Structure formats: structure tokens, C-alpha cells
Amino acid sequence: MLPSFLDSKTEHRPKEEFIMRSTHRQFRMVVALLLAIFILPISGAMAASALVEAESFAEKGGWVVDPQFADVMGSPFLMAHGLGKPVADAVTKVTIPVKGTYAVWVRTRNWVAGDWEAPGRFEVRINGKSIGEFGQRSGEWGWQKEGTVELSAGEATLALHDLTGFNGRCGAILLTNEPDMPPNDPKAMRPWRNRLLGMPDQPAKTESFDLVVVGGGRKIDCAHALHQLHCAGAGEMTLAPHRP
């Protein structure tokens, strides 16, 4: 038997092991490169959405809050009631989660849909740029999409620009990089809306009343009646006017 230093198999084994280690290193480098090129960009393009309810605009300009469809919308909406003269812009800030291309969905309706030019038309502007014209399509409340916009992460300026002064209506604005249309059914929309706004599905109980009057005609008459009942010892009561 030959000594190990004269054994040809032993002599070539270190060289073969070196080649195998080099091959493994190259393979790992190729895999890492493929992950960087194909996988990481996909995982980085996270789904992102920002929902802004119109009545929450910081500056409402000439737009007014109308609650008459709160049972359908889940909240009031803004209306441009200018008697034929375009009202001042409603303006607010919105936080964009990540940089990317965002579709702009607006919940609105053409309140006198027909074979004529819609009276309640308005523009949505982001950072001063018009995204499109809204309020001229369906006569029912629904989501209307007119374009997309490139946005950087951080704060952006959102504006409602009235075009007619004839009661344009805006319930909410959704900026999203997801392809699907937002839900329109009230039952599906409520939990979806709560999730985007960080609200609980069931509101927290903060106060207790023995009697709650909802609507009931003129506020002053209801308030007077409640005051008389309270003075008579009827307990704690509250008035919720302008509710559907």
C-alpha cells in the first residue's frame, strides 16, 4: 500500500473539493442575483390604498356637508351648492403610503342623469393636477374612475374643483395601487371602509341615554320637548337631527 502522499486519489481530492466549493458559491450567487432581480421587486410592490371621506376635508371651501344618504354611504357627502356659480375648492391633505402609480376612484352620482350635460360636474385635483371630470355618469351612487397618478410616499394635496355650481356630489375618494374596483354594496362597503380608516366594526359605547330622538322635524321643537321631559325627571336624553 502506497503512503497517502503518493496516493493519486488523495492527491487530487483537495483540488476536487476546491472545485465543488467554488461551484456551490457560484450557484448561491446566481440564486441571490435572481432573487434580487425578480422576487424582491414583486414583494416590494405592496398593496397600498388611501381612503378620504369627503366630509372630512380640512377646508370645505364652498362645498357643504349633506347627510341625507348616510344610510347608503355610511357617512355624509359634500355638495357644491352654488346656485349656478362654481363654489370655492374643498382642499385637504392625504398621506400616500408608498411611491407608485395610483388609480383615482371617486364615489359620486349624476343627480339628474339623462341625455343632456350633467349639471353637477367637478374635477378632482392632486397636487394641482386635474385627474379628470366626475359626476357625469351613473344616476346611482357608485365609484367612478377617470385616471391614474404617479405619487411619492408622503403628503399630497387633494382638492375638489367645482365646474358648474349646480350641486356636484362627492362621497369619498380612494387612491389605490390595487386593480380591483372598490365595493359598492353597502354591506360589503362598511367593513372595507372601517378597515381602511382604522375604525372598529362596532362603535365604542361612550354615553348612555334613557331616550334618543332621531329626526322629528324642526330642531327647536324637538329640543324644547326634550327640555320639558328632562325637567319633568324623564332621565338623560339626546337629539340626533338630520338623520335618515
pLDDT tens per residue across span 13-25: 555 554 556 565 6
Q: Is the pLDDT of residue 92 over 90?
A: yes
Q: What is the identity of the amino acid at 22?
A: S
How far is 20 from 17, CA to CA, in rounded Å? Answer: 5
Worst-scoring range by mean pLDDT, 65-69, 100-104, 149-153?
A: 65-69
Residue 150 and residue 160: Cα distance in Å, rounded? 18
- The one-letter amino acid at 95: T
Cell of 13: 481530492
Name the band, by pLDDT with cuts 50, 70 and 90, for residue 35: very low
Q: Which class for 128: exposed (0-12), middle (13-18), buried (19 or more C-beta within 10 A)?
A: exposed
Average pLDDT over residues 97-113: 96
Query: Which is higher by pLDDT, 171 or 24?
Result: 171
**To the nearest whole number, what is the mean pLDDT of the chain?**
81
Write down the pLDDT at residue 44.
45
pTM greater than 0.75: no
Distance in angstroms (rounded) separating the CA atoms of residues 130 and 151: 14
User: How far, in Å, CA of 148 to CA of 143, rounded?
Assistant: 14
Q: Tell me what pLDDT residue 241 has.
A: 58
User: Which amino acid type is present at position 100?
Assistant: G
C-alpha 204/C-alpha 26 separation (Å) is 59
Of 86, 66, 85, 61, give the one whose Cα is nearest residue 76. Answer: 66
